[in-house]
């Protein structure tokens, strides 16, 4: 159990899944075991010493599967090292500023406070117009006023993943 990490994600169009896969790959490069699976498919967390959960942000909210994962697994997550990430803001600039300084949706505050994650971050996202239906395109263009395109910063994702790997390696050697 000591080196097994769950990287769970909730993604509507696949961009957050690709970030989760990158995190899993970085963890594996340093010798950790990492399972990368959709949050909705993560049933038993007992085999995992640590959990990383990511969700796409849609109109200021996390994907329902990520919210459900946090609520359903709150007790077990509070007993493990947990890291959370959001993905979604597009455009130039600091992704946290693009989300109005909001690391996580406000409604997740109480459960996140009880879980006490080791780290929370926000990554730029990717809005691929070819994967959107007409209503989504219109909402993004006219309501959210977000630019289309891939704004993910793979170096930032790798740095964050490296910092998690380093923390987990220290924990594994200490036990």
**How do residues 112-155 score in pLDDT, each as one tens digit?**
999 999 999 999 888 777 887 777 777 766 666 677 778 899 99
- CA neighbor of 83 nearest in space, from 110, 55, 64: 55
> pLDDT class for 36, splitting at 50, 70, 90?
very high
Query: Which backbone phi and psi does 31 adopt, to 5 degrees?
Result: 95, 5
> pLDDT class for 2, splitting at 50, 70, 90?
very low
| Per-residue b or e along 119-133, where b marks 16 or more CB atoms closer than 10 Å to that residue's CB | eebbbbbbbeeeebe
* In the predicted structure, residue 79 carries a pLDDT above the cut 50: yes
Of 50-64, 92-106, 150-164, which gets the smallest average pLDDT?
92-106
Q: Say what the pLDDT of residue 131 is.
A: 80
Query: By percentage, how much of the chain surpasses pLDDT 90?
Result: 64
Annotate the chain with three-state secondary structure: CCCEEEEEEECCCCHHHHHHHHHHHHHHHCCCEEEEEEHHHCCCCCCCCEEEEEEEEECCEECHHHHHHHHHCHHHHHCCCEEEEEECCCCCCCHHHHCCCCCCCHHHHHHHHHHCCCEEEEECCEECHHHCCHHHHHHHHHHHCCCCEECCCHHHHHHHHHHHHHHHHHHHHHC
For the 4-169 domain, the top CATH level (class) is: alpha beta
Output the pTM of the full model: 0.89
Query: Which residue reads 């993004």 in tokens?
Result: 140
> pLDDT class for 38, splitting at 50, 70, 90?
very high
Mean pLDDT of the chain, nearest integer: 89
């Amino acid at each position: 159990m000591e080196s097994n990490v769950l990287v769970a994600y909730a993604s509507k169009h696949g961009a957050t899944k690709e970030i989760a896969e990158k995190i899993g790959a970085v963890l594996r490069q340093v010798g950790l075991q990492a399972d990368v699976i959709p949050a909705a498919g993560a049933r038993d967390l007992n085999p995992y010493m640590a959990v990383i959960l990511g969700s796409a942000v849609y109109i200021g909210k996390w994907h329902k599967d990520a919210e459900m994962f946090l609520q359903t697994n709150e007790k077990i997550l509070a007993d493990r090292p947990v890291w959370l990430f959001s993905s979604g803001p597009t455009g130039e600039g600091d992704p946290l500023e693009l989300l109005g300084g909001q690391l996580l949706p406000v409604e997740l505050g109480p459960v996140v406070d009880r879980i006490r994650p080791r780290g929370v971050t926000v990554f730029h996202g990717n809005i691929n117009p070819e994967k959107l239906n007409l209503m989504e395109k219109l909402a993004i263009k006219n309501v959210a006023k977000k630019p289309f395109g891939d704004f993910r910063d793979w170096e930032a994702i790798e740095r964050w993943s490296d910092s998690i790997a380093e923390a987990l390696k220290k924990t594994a050697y200490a036990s």
